[in-house]
Each structure stands twice: as C-alpha cells, then as structure tokens.
C-alpha cells in the first residue's frame, strides 16, 4: 500500500477527563463529555472532532472536483453536524449532516452534482458509506443518495 500521509495522536483519559494531542502538537485539546450528555463540558468531544474532520475533508474533495470541471468553488462553506444516537442494543451510533453552501455556483443542479461527486471522492465519505447515515444538502437543497447505514 502506498501511504501518502499518516496522522498520529495520543489520547489519555477518554471522553470523561481526557486529553488529546497530535504528534506534531498542532492539535492539543481537552476532551470532555458535553453538558447535553450530563458531563461538565469545557472541552471538545469525539463528535465535534469528527464533524470538523469530515467537513474539512469534504471541502477539499469538493474543491478538487470543481477544479477538474473548471468551476470555481473556493468560496464553499460547510456546516457539519455529527449526532450521537442510541441503538436498540443499548449501544451508540453516529449520523452526520453536511450542509454545503456554494455561493459561486448558482445553478442548483450543478451545485448538487458537485456535492455528489465530492461525496464519491472524500475519504471520510468512503469510510462512512454503508456504516452511518449521511445527509447532504447543496445550496439549501436536500440531496437524495447520501450514504445510509446498512440494515
């Protein structure tokens, strides 16, 4: 396998009273249970980190797809949400929503096509496909065909 890049991080304490730091030190965060889940808050959590990672990766994929089609999407903005949901087995699962705004792409079909194409290129989309529900929106228009969990 031809590895292009490896991210390294160390986490101690988990989500309760944890701390996470990347090997290079650019990300150095306290990890806490959010107040909505009965925790103290005051730090980030795995869902927030996933939301930032997914949105930033998706934005890069979208810009790549746009450049290939000779379109300008440099002003793209993505609002991402990652939800923690209970399962019937008393476990947990994730769901995600990516709300993509493309001010430079006024044609709704073209914006939708770019978002769908980015969803095929983004490594986070690839990792979540068939595992969690992912809802996509392009310039306010909900798209059919996001990744849905198997079963």
State residue 70's pLDDT score: 96
DSSP letter string over the chain? --------EEEESHHHHEEEEETTSS-EEEEE--GGGTS--SSB-HHHHHHHHHHHHHHHHHHHHHHHTT---TT-EEEEEEEEEE-TTS-EEEEEEEEEE-TT---HHHHHHHHHHHHHH-HHHHHHTTTSEEEEEETTEEES-------
Q: Which domains does the chain have, with CATH numbers?
A: 1-44 (2.20.25.10), 46-142 (3.30.300.20)
Each residue's pLDDT expressed in tens, for the chain with a length of 151 residues: 999 999 999 999 999 899 999 999 999 999 999 999 999 999 999 999 999 999 999 999 999 999 999 999 999 999 999 999 999 999 999 999 999 999 999 999 999 999 999 999 999 999 999 999 999 999 999 998 655 554 3
pTM of this structure: 0.92
């Amino acid at each position: 396998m031809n590895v292009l890049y490896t991210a390294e991080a160390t986490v101690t304490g988990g989500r309760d009273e944890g701390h996470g730091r990347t090997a290079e030190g650019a990300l150095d965060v306290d990890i806490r249970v959010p107040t909505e889940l009965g925790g103290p808050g005051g730090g980030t959590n795995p869902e927030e980190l996933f939301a930032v990672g997914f949105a930033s990766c998706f934005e890069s994929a979208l810009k790549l797809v746009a450049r290939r089609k000779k379109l300008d999407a440099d002003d793209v903005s993505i609002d991402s949400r990652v939800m923690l949901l209970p399962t019937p087995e008393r476990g947990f699962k994730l769901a995600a929503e990516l709300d993509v705004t493309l001010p430079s792409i006024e044609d709704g079909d073209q914006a939708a096509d770019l978002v769908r194409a980015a969803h095929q290129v983004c490594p986070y989309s690839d990792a979540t496909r068939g595992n969690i529900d992912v809802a996509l929106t392009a310039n306010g228009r909900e798209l059919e065909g996001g990744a849905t969990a198997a079963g």
